[in-house]
Structure 1
Amino acid sequence: MSHDQTYEDVTVGETRSFGEYEVTREEILRFAGQYDPQPFHVDEEAAESSMFGGLVASGWHTAAMTMRMLVDGELNESGALGAVGVDELRWPNPVRPGDTLSIETEVLEKEPFREGIGLVHSRTVTTNDDGETVMSMVGRVLFPMG
């Protein structure tokens, strides 16, 4: 992908796999302490007796880590203008300290948005190093029309 990529350059059905994000205990505690201070995100003792059986990352933290991988692995090298939303956000499995995350993207569909701009629906699936899905979403990303 290049910075001058246009809506017309995006191919429905295209898939890409990339990213490697190592999740640390310290980052889980820091993010949750600031943004999602529920006991199973910030208190290891409380997390042990929770349904998770140990410390887990906030889903919003998982989304932020996913976004970092998307920017580094795809968006900064594309012609993307930004996004207008996310559909179907899911966190089917928890993220734990020591996990290494990666992502796969698939272009699902595309449609005109407004004059000179197209909308691309792209599914992103984030997995841990055991191959379990920890997050999925459909991004609604804008591209310039050529």
Structure 2
Amino acid sequence: MKYYEDLEVGTKASFGNYKVTREEVIEFASKYDPQPFHLDDEAAAKTYFGRLSASGWHTCAMTMRMMVEHFTGEKSASLGSPGIDELSWVKPVYPGDTLRVEAELIEKRQSKSKPHMGFTRTRQTTFNQHGEPVLKMIAKGIIQVRDPSQVEAG
């Protein structure tokens, strides 16, 4: 189990292998982001995207799936996330793309008011199969402290 004490600022990880399907792009868009360029080839062809593309929110969801699979495999003492500081959709994601994530821990600090938990900030970039960034974000996390009396509050 990875706890707050085990995390080192500067640590990098690369993970994920998510194949984007046409069916999933349309299903997600139908439910959550029903804009024509996420639903219809003809409509999408007339836009900046040039063809059917995934919703940015769908790209976030696929990234989240890869993150959860990675961190669950590591057996992290994660307590969730209080949000995202930055988020940008850099390039469209298309059916047939294969996504992966690179993450770097850029900050950690122990909570002063709740010493049993620590806060993290991670820079994450999702790439397509060509190595092109499609999503960039700074995500915040909360992680359990193994033994609050052994960690210096920051």
Matched with 1:19 is 16
Shift in Å, 1:26: 0.6
- Higher-Rg member (1/2): 2
Letter in 2 for 1:108: I
Aligned-partner SS, 2:92: coil
Shift in Å, 1:75: 4.1
Aligned-partner SS, 1:30: helix
Shift in Å, 1:115: 2.3
**Which structure shows the bigger proportion of residues in strand conformation?**
1
Residue 135 in 1 paired to residue 132 in 2? no
Aligned-partner SS, 2:109: strand
Residue 103 in 1 paired to residue 107 in 2? no
List per-residue Cα deviations over 1:26-73 (Å, max 9, x = no partner). 100000000000111011110000111001000000000000000111
In structure 2, the gaps of 5 or more residues are: 147-154
Give me the whole-angstrom Cα distance separating, in 1, the residues matched to 2:49 and 2:134. 13
The correspondence of residues 44-123 of structure 1 with structure 2, limited to 5 A, is: 44-75=41-72, 77-113=75-111, 114-123=114-123
Correspondence for 2:7 among 1, 7, 10: 10
Aligned-partner SS, 1:81: coil
Runs of 4+ in 1 over 6 A off after TM superposition: none
CA RMSD, aligned part only?
1.0
Shift in Å, 1:124: 1.2
Give me the whole-angstrom Cα distance separating, in 2, the residues matched to 1:41 and 1:21. 18
Instruction: Indicate the percent of aligned positions where both proteins have the same amino acid.
Output: 49
Correspondence for 1:28 among 22, 25, 29: 25
In structure 1, the gaps of 5 or more residues are: none
Aligned pair count reads 143
Residue 37 in 1 paired to residue 73 in 2? no
